[in-house]
Structure 1
């Protein structure tokens, strides 16, 4: 007989149960001290936070509510982030990078196991909500009428994604691409000024126009494919 193993849900619940209020307070204060020194994130936060002491207490309350189900937080992160001007995926990506670095350095395994996954979901959800509420971030999702598919790319994964796709490139004149994400998550970046980014989850698609510079980056293990039209 095989020994029973804990389900991912049960393991997550066990990790969360081992996290203390003190752990979360140290995390919030350590992480945001780092954010306030970061060249990309600091200007964004400093221009919107008037009272850091109060803001840090709100953030502590948020994480206590999220992880420990403790009452006390009554904020609305979604609409506040949706109103921020000039927000891009690069900000969320950097936020996650600093967050994961902080949880690793704190060396509290139960804390890292619990909050890292929460932070990834939070960044993805906030970014998707931001794009929905900012018309300038609208993207073409359906192929224009009159075009026909003539070629399909291989299925690309992090293991076989060509280096050229990770660097700035474009589709030749007269050819359009329909990028479909089969699994995982992918960031599509238009290499224009200012750059525009879009997070694509499994089941989503995006039209890539001819001669528009762009590149792609996997943010979660997965796969995508491109149908070429003309």
Structure 2
């Protein structure tokens, strides 16, 4: 019995991640942000592929906290997420079967909503009003 969220293989995940970052490096709005924070692309791509393998295949290889990393960057803005997701969806549609692309896209959009929310709401105790 497979525990993965949907039908996809590790090599397919690696392929999508590599293709996505090729597109990122060409994108006029996202390329400068990524270039500022990523100096070792192979290592970054391996880490992100590990993230997706954890999220989709339920592998335990990924260690990290995406929200903390994006917060620490300091220049990741909410308006970047629609561009990111549009690029990601285009890569999914080009490289995967329709059902797999739709499933991964839904997961990516759900994660994107969580990251956007986390970036727009600062951590700390809630402020109570009386």
- The TM-score, its normalising length taken from structure 2, stands at 0.85
Following superposition of structure 1 onto structure 2, how do residues 1-230 of structure 1 map, counting pairs within 5 Å? 16-133=5-122
1:31–1:99 contact (8 Å) kept in structure 2: yes
Unaligned residue ranges in structure 2 (runs of 5+): 124-130
Please provide the CA RMSD for this pair. 2.0
Runs of 4 or more above 3 Å deviation: 13-17
Compute the displacement of 1:15 (Å): 8.5
Distance 2:6 2:121 in 1: 35
The normalised TM-score by structure 1 is 0.50
- Give secondary structure in 2 for the equivalent of 1:89: coil
Query: Structure 1: any 5+ residue segments left out of the alignment?
Result: 1-12, 135-230
Asked if the contact 1:19–1:110 (Cα under 8 Å) also holds between the matched residues in 2, the reply is no
**Per residue, is there more strand in 1 or in 2?**
1
